[in-house]
Amino acid sequence: MSRAVALRLGAFAGAVVLAFGAAYGIGSAVDPIAAAEDTSAAPAHGEEMGGMEQTAGTSEHGGHESAGQLPGLAVSDAGYTFAPAKTFFTSGAKTELRFTIQGPDGKPVTKYTKTHEKDLHLIVVRRDLSGFRHVHPTLAADGTWSIPFTFTAGGTWRLYADFQPAGHDSTITLGTDVNVTGLYVPVPVAEPASVYSFDGYDVTLQGTPVAGKESELMFTISRGGKPVKDLQPYLGAFGHLVSLRGGDLAYLHTHPAQEATAGMKGGPGITFATTFPTASTYSLFLDFQHAGKVHTAEFTVKVSSTGTAIVPPTALPTATTAPKTPGHAETPHGH
């Protein structure tokens, strides 16, 4: 090897060493391992948004919904799944709602603990909060629930199953959607009002609901201008109240503290202790039984963080108000 070649190789090797050393020094100063740890400490975009959107809340009747999840928003919870046999129906056609509640083992649940005198409560309502129904299907030996049903209008409908499996320490409320073909005419949610009038009945609402705090609501029932004092027991009480939050249709299910048994008479007032989880607009559905028939009164309530009083008028309206529920009288309650 000539001296010139040797000198050129030596210079090249020296340059490589210097470049490597410089890179090493820069890398050590930046500390790539520490930098990677700092990056992972910040939440990913999806995680951050998920944390922001999570809403805490619980069911009034001791539901077992997962922490941060309100009742009725999930099809599966606590190991149980709401599994309808079909999810497409035709409006106006007589059909049968069939479904199972699948347990943690993947098999249909066949044994339940009664809550409010029933093994399972099924709530059906269209996504625009019209068409409310509260029915009680029949349980077969294989764990299949079924009930004859007619959807009165097209659109997307929400089903809620409210139940307590045998051996479980609390109730669970699951929800799922079904699709109904046919004419779809959106029904706007009624404006907030303290009186709902229908079929000769006037139901007044009074209270000051506050978001996140237990609030007392009182419903007073009259008929033909006279207080109704002979309400009949229904599901172990004199009234049954379901509240659905506008937007996501989160579910609240309450009963009055006073229990009622056969032969007792109640009214004209029914009081509920209810906790609305967030400031929002809620649709309230009050079921009560009088003269052997179950009736439903519907209210829209705006709940704020500071509380807004709902005060009934000094005089009740003389004209009856048709229910906003389409075809309300066409499908029986099935109680």
pLDDT in tens, 277-320: 999 999 999 999 999 999 999 999 999 999 989 988 875 554 33
Tokens of 46: 């999806």
In a domain, 279, yes or no: yes
In a domain, 267, yes or no: yes
| Domain enclosing residue 200, as ranges | 195-303
**80 in the same domain as 13:** no
Sign of the torsion formed by the C-alpha atoms of 196, 333, 248 and 219: positive
Alpha-carbon distance of 60 to 274, in angstroms, equals 7
**237 in the same domain as 146:** no
Pairing between strand 144-150 and 226-227? unpaired
Alpha helix positions (H), the chain: 3-30, 32-41, 45-53
In a domain, 190, yes or no: no
pLDDT in tens, 60-116: 344 444 546 899 999 999 999 999 999 999 999 999 999 999 999 999 999 999 999
Alpha-carbon distance of 43 to 174, in angstroms, equals 30
Cβ–Cβ < 8 Å for 205, 240: no
- Supply the CATH number for residue 281's domain: 2.60.40.10
**173 in the same domain as 83:** yes
**288 in the same domain as 214:** yes
pLDDT in tens, 152-167: 999 999 999 999 999 9
In a domain, 187, yes or no: no
Alpha-carbon distance of 43 to 278, in angstroms, equals 26
Last-in-domain residue among 181, 205, 238: 181
In a domain, 71, yes or no: no
Alpha-carbon distance of 157 to 180, in angstroms, equals 7
Alpha-carbon distance of 335 to 234, in angstroms, equals 9
**293 in the same domain as 206:** yes
**207 in the same domain as 130:** no
In a domain, 186, yes or no: no
Q: Please name the residues in contact with 82: beta carbons below 8 A apart, sequence gap of 6 or more.
A: 75, 76, 99, 101, 159, 161, 174, 175, 176
In a domain, 330, yes or no: no
Count of the separate structural domains present in the chain: 3
**170 in the same domain as 80:** yes
This prediction's pTM: 0.76
